[in-house]
Amino acid sequence: MAFKKGYMIVCDGSNGAGKTTIIKAIAAHLLSRGREIVVTREPGGTPVGEKIREVLLSPDTPELCATTELLLFAAARAQHVREKIVPAIEAGKIVISDRFDAATVSFQYYARGLPLALINQLNAIALDGFRPDINIILDLDPAVGIERVNARGEALDRMEKEKLEFLQRARNGYLEQARNDPQHFMIIDASQTLEKVTSSVIEIVDKITDS
């Protein structure tokens, strides 16, 4: 079967909600259907983006101001879109990304309180007219998410070390974006069993990639 159209699927939402596991399930499913895939992440995804990621998420840079943080996310995204995402989609591949532009709206606007107009302007510059086909939001109480991260024995990154109130505002940001744009957002209750979450996500992926 010849596939001509590429897609971009974003897996986003609360920290500790299981994005990594779900992305692996999406990738395996699409590979089983004969699709070529590219798995990536934000911030990161390119050599330049990964260096920016180190600065953004390292607990060793707590002094990073909110505006610098926003600009770094935008810089990493601009490189990501041009170097990796658009070429893959033009080649008919399916890009699966751990976070994307909706995360910046949630964390930098809803949680940090930076001006939405500024965030939208920077996202527009970084995206250059591009947008993902679907944002799958794994929704989970931030307190539960951090408990899961701790239970895995993983060190918290700079964003995860923020107060629960900050993480809750970011969560609300995802939910609000989904309410405002149901065509491009799907909310999945990540407190369900892994089997239920996975089956719900795969159903969404099939609807998108079969269109």
Q: Burial of 153 by CB count in 10 Å (0-12 exposed, 13-18 middle, 19+ buried)?
A: exposed
Q: 60 pLDDT band (50/70/90 cuts)?
A: confident
CA–CA separation, 99 vs 13, rounded Å?
Answer: 8
pLDDT at 196: 97
Q: 211 pLDDT band (50/70/90 cuts)?
A: low
pLDDT at 201: 98
Q: Specify the number of domains making up the chain.
A: 1
Please report whether residue 1 resides in a domain.
Answer: no
Contact at 8 Å (CB) between 184 and 131? yes
Please report whether residue 119 resides in a domain.
Answer: yes
Contact at 8 Å (CB) between 186 and 138? no
pLDDT at 154: 76
Please report whether residue 20 resides in a domain.
Answer: yes
What is the average pLDDT across 2-16?
A: 85
Q: 117 pLDDT band (50/70/90 cuts)?
A: very high
Q: 208 pLDDT band (50/70/90 cuts)?
A: very high
Residue 36 CA, distance from chain mean position: 20
- Does 22 have pLDDT greater than 70? yes
pLDDT at 46: 98
Report the CATH number that the domain containing residue 108 is assigned in CATH: 3.40.50.300
181: containing domain: 7-209
The letter for the amino acid at 18 is G
Quote the mean pLDDT of the chain.
Answer: 93
Please report whether residue 14 resides in a domain.
Answer: yes
Q: Highest mean pLDDT range out of 30-39, 148-157, 202-211?
A: 30-39
Closest CA to 44 of 90, 83, 93: 83
- Does 80 have pLDDT greater than 50? yes
